[in-house]
Amino acid sequence: MRPKIEICFWGVRGSIATHLTENSHYGGHTSCISICYKKHWFVCDAGTGIRLLGQKLAQKKVPVTILLSHLHWDHLFGLPFFKPLYEKNRKIMIVGPSTKTFPFRKTLRQIVRSPYFPVTPQYWSSKMRLLGVGEKRLKIGRIVVEAKWVRHTDKALGFQFYFPNGKRIIYVADHNLKASDKQFAKWIRNADVLIHDAQFDKKEYAKKWDWGHSCFETVVEVALNSKIKKLVLFHHDPNASDKILDKRLKFCNKKIRRAKSKLKCCLAKEGFKILI
Ligand SMILES: [Zn+2]
Ligand SMILES: [Zn+2]
């Protein structure tokens, strides 16, 4: 049997964590997902959801690659709470966006220090490696990870994973997606799974068009046109209750049925797993 890829959602919110009864079904932690293939563990973003993943991976001798889409708080806040970071000799690589103005390694060290947080990277594993990237293809084991700049309020990366079994997974956490963006549409075309920012609906987007996020209506439209197999709406607004999110999914499924497409659409939910 072909080895499966397991995607698991540990945090699905954008902006800020929210733990209220009305959003408990989808969960309140901020962005963090894991992708596991054989013994390779990839962690996309280090929002508050990463803490529980850290408990699961503690003491396991598997190499971990953490990919940070960008350094906004909702994607970084959980990093110092990731247990494996404090295990001696633990092999961990942290990849993040790097520019001339904000070189990744220097910028990260400037954030994770007093007076903002008392435990600095000098306490992290001696085998921890920080790698700043722009648009780049990285080979980790037999898996290729491609980083691509996406439109956001600060420099942010999307990641595409190419697995040896031919599967492709794309993770784009924060992105102001335009339906007219042909380059992006080409990049995602025919992917097996697209996990994408869907923070707003059209009405909210009209007011907050410069906040760097997408509206779910555009995301489903682009996914349909790009022949995506599975779309996962992600980075839910902290104000979007379970009820609101359920309505969004209904709208998307109606649109997909009308288009007579085979696209499968779902909402990211804490604890939810996808096997492909
Ligand atoms: Zn975010
Ligand atoms: Zn952001």
What does the pLDDT read at residue 183? 97
What are 21's two structure tokens? 């009864």
| CA neighbours closer than 13 Å in the CB half-sphere of residue 265 | 27
Helix pair angle (242-258, 216-225), 10° resolution: 30
Asked if the model's pLDDT at residue 1 lies above 80, the reply is no
pLDDT (average), residues 256-265 = 98
Write out pLDDT tens, residues 131-190: 999 999 999 999 999 999 999 999 999 999 999 999 999 999 999 999 999 999 999 999
Question: What is the CA(156)–ligand 1 centre distance, in A?
Answer: 10
Rounded to whole angstroms, the Cα distance separating 79 from 54 reads 9
Considering every ligand atom, which ligand is closest to the CA of 70?
2
Question: What is the CA(71)–ligand 1 centre distance, in A?
Answer: 9
CATH assignment of the domain containing 158: 3.60.15.10
Higher pLDDT, 97 or 60: 97
Question: What is the CA(185)–ligand 1 centre distance, in A?
Answer: 21
Question: What is the CA(182)–ligand 2 centre distance, in A?
Answer: 22
How many domains are contained in the chain?
Answer: 1
67 pairs with which residues across the strands?
Answer: 44, 95
3-state secondary structure of 92: strand
Question: What is the CA(86)–ligand 2 centre distance, in A?
Answer: 27
Question: What is the CA(193)–ligand 1 centre distance, in A?
Answer: 20
Q: Look over the chain and give the mean of its residue pLDDT values, rounded to a whole number.
A: 96
pTM, rounded to two decimals? 0.97
Where in the sequence is the domain holding 253, given as residue range(s)? 5-275
Question: What is the CA(261)–ligand 2 centre distance, in A?
Answer: 31
Write out pLDDT tens, residues 66-75: 999 999 999 9
Write out pLDDT tens, residues 3-43: 699 999 999 999 999 999 999 999 999 999 999 999 899 99
